[in-house]
Structure 1
Amino acid sequence: MSVILVINSGSSSLKYSLIDIEGENELASGLIERIGQPPGAITHTVRPPLNADAVVTMLDASYSSERQVADHEAAFAVMLEQFAEHGPRLAEHPPAAVGHRVVHGGARFYEPTPITRDVEEQIDELSVLAPLHNPANLAGIRAAKRVFADVPHLAIFDTAFHQTLPPAAYTYAIDAEIAAAHRVRRYGFHGTSHQFVSESAAAFLGRDPAGLRQIVFHLGNGASVTAIDGGRSVETSMGLTPLEGLVMGTRSGDIDPAALVHLSRRAGCSIDDLDALLNTRSGLKGLAGRSDMRDILAGVDAGDDAATLAFDVYIHRLRAYAGAYIAQLGGVDVISFTAGVGENAAPVRAAAVATLGFAGVELDAARNIARERGIRRISTDASRVAVLVVPTNEELQIARQTAGML
């Protein structure tokens, strides 16, 4: 059995998944939260094995507990304890490699990369572009390399899938020398998810990705949309940072840069004030006081004016990007929705594509509201554009790419 351990290390969390890559079966997964904060929350889930007919014979077994977890190194010790106590035992399923999610790879990293000391230094240097993410990713890498010292460690970058963006798409129209000196350009994020979803959509339809024009909406608390032509990212909504683009849970998305100058001059906002405003007090939360789309939809149903406006602004931005990307692609063959909102909020999907009949989109209302698991089609059989719901699986995509580079 070829087993890959996938690590997603956040500033105060450690998410892990143990995957049998040959059968693409997740053996176990876990999440350690509130690292460095009392008390830490620990969840470990063991997946039952499949029988010969690939049928699950038992329910998942999940174990939860709380305790203080001082740092990422302590979190890895907790993870090992969870495997030893609840299974599967790592001695029986030793990882052949460890794949690490790294948010920002800049323009340097465009494929799964073995993590050397030089690569660690470059990830650290790129922290200036992702100060909330790269330092935490690096802490997880260093802790994991101490625990699993004898296996390869590979970095899978969220920005890598978007390295195929053409210059016209990634270049900002500012002074070229300043942009080059400070690496100011569009990088894009959620690339691992966009790649997984676009490949899964093509496989579901029995089509070669090379012959498809796709738009993927990754809609979670963070949200982005990508135009994919022939399996290659050609346009994406997030930019230098994950702030640009769509309206998100707490992030503004697109805004006139002069609005920030205005707030600095007239409201006395500092750089840190503006950073906090745009990243933590904007988006759905800024408009309606709630960042969760489920709360927004409940507010809409109750006639809450603020929630209704927040929903309308959110949908307006989705439609604007859909129309722009259809124009950039010269038409579209597949539109996919993924992540927490994209997979579960039927009203969002319906509203987002309601004006796309001109492009050949015809939604099936019954399919859209049906609560089913797995990838599914929600457009009518007559629709010229396939509209899909595709559950994302970034951990599996990271495991695939890690195994592919061994």
Structure 2
Amino acid sequence: MSDHVLVINAGSSSLKYSLIDGASGEAAASGLVERIGEPESRHLHRGPDGETSATLKIASHEDAMRAVISAFEEYGPSFDDIEIVAIGHRVVHGGSRFADPVLIDDELVAAVTELVPLAPLHNPANLEGIRVARQLFPDHPQVAVFDTAFHQTLPPEAYTYAVPLEWRDDHGIRRYGFHGTSHAFVSAEAARVLGRDLGDLNLIVLHLGNGCSATAVRGGVSVETSMGMTPLEGLVMGTRSGDLDPAIHAHLVRELGWTVDKIDRALNHESGLKGIAGDNDFRELTTRRSAGDPHAQLAFDIYCHRLKKYIGAYYAVLGTVDAIVFTAGVGQHSAGVRATTLTGLERLGIHLDPARNNHPTPTTISTPDSPVTILVIPTNEEWQIARETLALLEPHD
């Protein structure tokens, strides 16, 4: 019998879940409860017989988890037929303390609670998911897998900000990096596709979804990444600005009288592609760009320009690059982004094959003689969380 892990990703008003076969990565079921706490919540469940959707009132994460259990009972697969061996939780911020998955107990909950100031939008929701799951599944081992863990291998010159010592020592001001489960999974998959040992590879991994991050991976180890103390730094994203002059904050306070909270919200939720073109849906922007919309064109150009800058920077950090890997929604599905970003980098040994790039399901999109292989690899963060959960629970000699 396969070992199945129930993977939970609790957001502030949502609960995503997947029942994952740890060996194959196949999802026996998955779903999403969204708009928790609102008058009308939505529960989407994908089971053996297809997809079901219901609109109902779900007041809390506990109600959401009970709805999930009911969906398994009604639509399958039944927990009597598929045994859950563990529950794996995505936790966004592990600070500098957690470099590996950790078995959840009261001490772990206290430690993640202490890290809330570093991730006030994410860690409280993750903790609520943990609390509810421990209450409803008291006999199952539960494991926290941290988004930041993969990047705990960054060297000091990469994670240290040039700020006063007391900021760093007393308040944890440093680069942490995010999307770690995705970067770890995609790096291992790249090695498999290339038929090489991950320890021998230098990779640039580009996770391009609504949130975007780039990571330089040397021998399976993260040595540089674009997101910083928070997920705001780095590439242009759906609603996040990415890199900008930090003095802009002070300027907005002095000149417009804006509060810190207003600026924070604007940079996280009203900037990026949405701020430039009014829309963070890349498919819609692609349609508008094709119709000649100048705002959509500018958003596309800025997005690709920032990507190109990071590829060049990470090439310099690594010295040599074996492969560039595109993943997540935009990375997998936008041939235009890949082509525009990589055009002009031929002297770095990066040669894109247009026909391969435009294939409906691309994998290797570089020319056969390209010194740097260009790959498109779907990410699977849920499977990575399941694998790390099972690995932690395996007995060791």
Q: Normalized against structure 1, the TM-score is what?
A: 0.95
Q: Distance in 1 between matches of 2:92 and 2:216?
A: 20
Taking the TM superposition and a 5 Å limit, the aligned residue runs for 1:191-206 are 191-206=180-195
Deviations 1:286-305 (A, max 9, x none): 11111111222222212211
Question: Which of 273, 288, 292 is the aligned partner of 1:299?
Answer: 288
The correspondence of residues 7-406 of structure 1 with structure 2, limited to 5 A, is 7-47=8-48, 61-372=50-361, 376-406=363-393
Aligned to 1:57: none
Q: CA RMSD in A?
A: 1.1
Query: For residues 280 and 33 of structure 1, what CA distance do their matches in structure 2 show?
Result: 18
Work out the CA distance in 2 between the residues paired with 1:21 and 1:256: 43
Q: Calculate percent identity across the aligned residue pairs.
A: 55
SS for the counterpart of 2:305 is: helix
- Cα distance in 2, alignment partners of residues 156 and 403 from structure 1: 11
Rounded to whole Å, the distance in 2 between the matches of 1:162 and 1:348 is 26
What secondary structure is seen at the aligned counterpart in 2 of 1:391?
Answer: coil
CA contact (8 A) 1:188 1:242 kept: yes
* Aligned residue identity for 1:210: G
Question: After TM superposition, what 4+ stretches of structure 1 lie above 2 angstroms from structure 2?
Answer: 22-25
Task: Identify which range, 60-69 or 321-330, moves more after superposition.
Answer: 60-69
Deviation track 1:177-236 (CA, whole Å, cap 9, x = no partner) reads 222111000000000000000100110110101110000100011100000000000000
Which residue does the alignment assign to 1:5?
Answer: 6
SS of match in other structure, 1:376: coil
Instruction: After superposition, give the CA deviation of every residue in 1:57-102 in whole Å (9 maximum; x if it has no partner).
Output: xxx6111111111101001100011100011101221211100000
Structure 1: stretches of 5+ with no match in the other structure: 48-59
1:307 to 1:22, Cα distance in 2 relative to 1, 3 A: closer
Aligned-pair CA distance for 1:309: 1.2
Partners of 2:83 and 2:128 lie apart in 1 by 22
CA distance in 1, matches of 2:376, 2:241: 25
Ranges in structure 2 where 5+ consecutive residues have no aligned partner: none
Shift in Å, 1:282: 0.8
Give the AA of the match of 2:392: M
